[in-house]
Amino acid sequence: MADRTEIVIHPVSPRGGRKVTAHVLGVAADLGRAFTPTDVSELLRRAGLEAVDLSEDGPIRWEGGGPEVWTSDICRAG
């Protein structure tokens, strides 16, 4: 079985920020909450996942919008 790491950036929370998780060998690890792409890079670096392409063409699954989305519709409406 190949070691396949999946990184997920979840939709923006109503409280702000996006949860970042890594799924490795069937285990999900919560890496923290990011408020910018720089935060995502730092969380990944701390997890030993350096030099990850943050673009939508990279290995990250961006849910609720790509790397340019950091506020939710709820936050913008308020």
Q: What is the pTM of this model?
A: 0.84
Q: Within 13 A of 10's CA, how many CA atoms are on the CB side?
A: 15
Q: Mean pLDDT across the stretch 46-74?
A: 88
Domains of the chain: 5-77 (3.30.420)
**Res. 77: pLDDT tops 50:** no
pLDDT for the residue 1: 39
- Side chain identity at residue 71, one-letter code: T
The count of other CB atoms within 10 Å of the CB of residue 19 is 16
